[in-house]
Amino acid sequence: MTGGKSQKLVFLLLAAIVVLVARIWYVDLSAAPQAQGASGTAYAPHIVLGPGAASLGAPAAIASANPVGGGPSGTPSSTTPYYGEMDTTASVFQRVATTAVPEFMREELLVRDITNGVDLADVDQNVRWPTASLTKLMTATLVLDHFSMDTRITITPQMMAVDPEEGHLVVNGTYSVYDLLHVMLMPSSNVAAEAFADYYGRTQFLQEMNARAKAWGMRDTYFDDPSGLSSANESTAHDLAILATHVYQSYPTILQFTDTPDIVIANYANGVKTDVRSINDFAGTPGFIGGKTGFIPEAKDNLLSLFRYDGNPVLIIVLGAGDTAERFSDTTNLLDWVKMDYK
């Protein structure tokens, strides 16, 4: 065999070996099992992006790993929980210090400059959570759109049945919408909320609540009743901020009523007058614009508050506080942080 033929044969043998090895390697890889979750189904890698990552040029495949969409209560509609300050360059406030955001053991919190819609801080603002009586803010918007303040509504046994321990209204008592709205927003009467829905037509009222939420872009929100008693009433801090912004811009009467410390209401059926006091510690205090408290066992303590700071509104939402005192102290600490870091 000549030298040229020998070299050619060796080359062909080496090429054949390379092809064989490559095929074996490919088969092994394609047969290997994918990484699996507890259910045995394959999962994609969990990718956490900082705020604004998609807008900064993150690949579409990575951005899609952070889907938007609601899950059941307590589950995120975004896989990007973020604790701390946000990009606030577009805020009406100017950052003058870099103090750390107070940390609390809460399910969600949000601090927003609602003038420009800029978040100053948030924790898991896209996690669905029971709204409790924060629901009544949406209820109030429909009342203002569909009722006259001097309309009188008589409380029926069916209305009273939602909360037999009601302390301000009585069965067969007749009250003006003006007074009922105060009772719903100040001591957070569930009976007053139910009275509005029943008088209007409960099914239609709830349909309009949910239709309004959808129209306003509150896509992780659902209302199951007008009071918030049901834990099926769910939203997120992000969606509640949308609601608060609409209330601030278009329904200032709601904020005026929630800033009222006390009022006297009248039962037109018998002439009896009743003192009503707010359960919101901030009502009537300097700088407070308005807001709403909320509590059911499943939600723990919720609080949505609007404050006037340096001439501009600041929204603070705390969801899932441990008790009534903590929701107010958490909100106070967050407002103090804003005043320390922003001018």
Active site residue 188: yes
Q: Is 73 annotated in the active site?
A: no
Per DSSP, helices labelled H in 121-201 are 135-146, 157-160, 177-185, 190-200
**Which residue out of 77, 136, 189, 292 is catalytically annotated?**
136
Residue 136 a catalytic site member: yes
Of the listed 77, 91, 176, 188, which one is catalytic?
Answer: 188
Return the half-sphere exposure (C-beta side, CA atoms, 13 A cut-off) of residue 176: 11
Q: How far apart are CA 205 and CA 194, in angstroms?
A: 10
Gap between the terminal Cα atoms of the chain? 91
Sign of the CA dihedral with 224 first, then 70, 302, and 339 last: negative
Please report, for residues 6, 9, 15, 234, 250, the alpha-carbon distance to residue 3 in angstroms, rounded to integers and kept in the order given. Answer: 5, 10, 19, 83, 94
Q: Which of 78, 133, 176, 235 is catalytic?
A: 133
**What Å distances lie between residue 40 and 29, 47, 66, 76, 266, CA to CA?**
19, 20, 22, 22, 63
Residues classed as catalytic: 133, 136, 188
